[in-house]
Amino acid sequence: MCSGRVEPAFILRAFLNGIDGVLVTGCHIGDCHYIKGNEYTLNRMEHIKKLLKKIGIEEERFRLHWISASEGKQFADLIKDFTDVVKKLGESKIPKKIGVIEIQSY
């Protein structure tokens, strides 16, 4: 799936349902299999970062990273680093079991 298909609502829904961190990865800029999908993602994720900050979610809990399928070691390092950051932050301020929250995508 192209990172361009990651709707901002998916990220909001994850945090609103108590997820402690969200990592979105995609092809390197200029190397997208779907032409400009990752460029759309970059633009949308900049907006979501601002929104998360406004609603009180620490910016370290969300990360966007460009990586290729051939970069296995870098991917493993990225996952470890992001996991360590989220562990240090502790649990999100949003309760874990708040019920089903539906956010419509447009």
Q: Which residue matches tokens 């999908």? A: 37
Question: Rounded to whole angstroms, how far apart are CA atoms 4 and 36?
Answer: 8
Sign for the CA dihedral angle at 30, 36, 44, 99 comes to negative
Asked whether residue 106 carries a pLDDT value surpassing 50, the answer given is no
DSSP letter at 93? S
Q: pTM for the whole thing?
A: 0.83
Contact 52, 22 (CB under 8 A): no
Q: What is the pLDDT of residues 50-93, one digit of tens each?
A: 999 998 899 999 999 999 989 999 999 999 999 999 999 999 88
Question: Rounded to whole angstroms, how far apart are CA atoms 45 and 7?
Answer: 9
Domain limits, the chain: 3-89
